[in-house]
């Protein structure tokens, strides 16, 4: 049994915990933690096999695989602590890792793994394959309703009032690095796309607000000497957190299944 420790019992953490509890053979949820005690309580009482409630250090101690589903502020520090203890880690707040690339080599040196699920986008399998040759360009266009972007520091900085946007409007264009800094809770997909392809400075990101949207749309275009790839996903947002797409949680669950399965499908 691979012991799993969870940091963050929100929308994604809850879906992951329920899947580990009931659906995925070979995994056991050993410990959980959230800075919000009410979230811990609700989750723990919804599970069949009760994990231990612990501090972040306690979760790392008890787990073979630590899962971060909390916040970009905590991702880097948590990954560092886990890797120092030679534990594997899965990161959901992927944008939080762009100042911690040194940990990639540290994990390789210590023989542990960092997992970055694809999240709410499609095509990383082909992009990884294409990077074995040469990729010229990667562009991500993300379309969200105003509620999917609320609270982002970029809006404050640029004095953008989402309530005043009445039709489709591009509010951001820049590199993936700039996008992740500007929208730390909203554009994790830009970070994972960059890691798979041509990096955070060459990957281009456009964010478009569309008040008529009920779904978060991610449209990716990649060009290289393999040809051209285009993917478009229309994501159902979580009713509890409109910034988070349901597919992001499912992608984490599928990654966990892949870790434990003898049969590996896709790149
Ligand atoms: N990789 C992806 O594709 C993707 C998609 C959506 C969201 N995310 C990211 O995943 C993370 C979780 O998303 P969510 O929708 O579950 O968010 P959420 O707000 O529903 O849940 C986050 C939980 O983490 C807890 N938390 C925050 N900081 C903490 C800390 N320092 N220690 C312990 N607990 C802490 C919060 O109290 C909350 O319960 C977010 O950072 C989000 O940006 C990633």
The verdict on the CB of residue 169 being under 6 Å from ligand 1 is: no
> Which of 105-109, 164-168, 240-244 has the lowest average pLDDT?
240-244
pLDDT per position as a tens digit, 162-188 = 999 999 999 999 999 999 999 999 999
The verdict on the CB of residue 188 being under 6 Å from ligand 1 is: yes
Residue 121 gets the label, from left (phi > 0), alpha (psi -120 to 50) or beta, of: beta
CA distances 196 to 33, 228, 267, Å, are 30, 16, 11
Name which residue sits closest to atom 19 of ligand 1, judged by CA: 10
Q: What is the pLDDT of residue 23?
A: 82
- As a 3-state breakdown, the chain gives helix, strand, coil percent values, each rounded to 5, of 40, 25, 35
Q: What is the pLDDT of residue 242?
A: 85
Q: Backbone phi, then psi, for 231, in 5-degree steps?
A: -130, 150
93 alpha carbon to ligand 1 midpoint, in Å?
Answer: 7
Of all residues in the chain, what percent carry a pLDDT higher than 70? 100
Name which residue sits closest to atom 39 of ligand 1, judged by CA: 10
| DSSP alpha helix (H) spans, 89-161 | 102-110, 124-130, 153-157
Provide mean pLDDT across the span 42-58. 97
Provide mean pLDDT across the span 194-204. 98
244 CA: nearest ligand 1 atom: 6
Q: Give the C-alpha separation, 51 to 139, whole Å.
A: 41
Quote the tokens at residue 54: 């612990």
Q: Which domains, and CATH codes, for the chain?
A: 2-119+247-260 (3.40.50.720), 124-243 (3.30.360.10)
Q: What is the pLDDT of residue 241?
A: 87
69 alpha carbon to ligand 1 midpoint, in Å?
Answer: 5
pLDDT per position as a tens digit, 246-262 = 999 999 999 999 999 99
39 CA: nearest ligand 1 atom: 39
Please report which confidence band the pLDDT of residue 205 belongs to, taking 50, 70 and 90 as the band edges: very high
The verdict on the CB of residue 255 being under 6 Å from ligand 1 is: no
The verdict on the CB of residue 235 being under 6 Å from ligand 1 is: no
155 HSE (CA, 13 A, CB side): 21
192 CA: nearest ligand 1 atom: 1
Please report which confidence band the pLDDT of residue 239 belongs to, taking 50, 70 and 90 as the band edges: confident
């Amino acid at each position: 049994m691979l012991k799993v420790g969870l940091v963050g019992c929100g929308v994604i953490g809850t879906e992951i915990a329920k899947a580990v509890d009931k659906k995925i053979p070979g995994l056991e949820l050993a410990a959980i933690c959230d800075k919000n005690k009410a979230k811990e309580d609700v989750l723990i009482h919804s599970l069949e096999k009760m994990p231990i409630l612990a501090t972040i250090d306690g979760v790392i101690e008890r787990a073979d695989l630590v899962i971060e589903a909390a916040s970009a502020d905590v991702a880097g520090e948590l990954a560092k602590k886990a890797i120092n203890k030679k534990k594997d880690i899965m990161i959901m707040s992927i944008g939080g890792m762009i100042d911690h690339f040194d940990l990639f080599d540290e994990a390789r040196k210590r023989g542990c793994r960092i997992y970055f699920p694809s999240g709410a986008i499609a095509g990383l399998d082909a992009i990884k394959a294409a990077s074995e040759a040469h990729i010229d360009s990667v562009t991500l266009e993300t379309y969200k309703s105003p509620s999917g972007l609320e609270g982002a520091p970029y809006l404050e900085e640029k004095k953008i009032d989402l309530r005043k946007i009445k039709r489709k409007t591009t509010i951001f264009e820049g590199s993936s690095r700039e996008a992740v800094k500007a929208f730390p809770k909203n554009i994790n997909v830009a970070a994972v796309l960059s890691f798979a392809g041509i990096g955070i400075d060459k990957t281009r990101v456009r964010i478009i607000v569309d008040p008529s949207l009920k779904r978060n749309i991610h449209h990716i275009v990649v060009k290289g000497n393999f040809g051209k790839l285009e993917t478009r996903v229309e994501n159902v947002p979580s009713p509890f957190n409109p910034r988070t797409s349901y597919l992001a949680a499912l992608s984490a669950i599928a990654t966990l299944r892949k870790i434990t399965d003898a049969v590996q499908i896709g790149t």
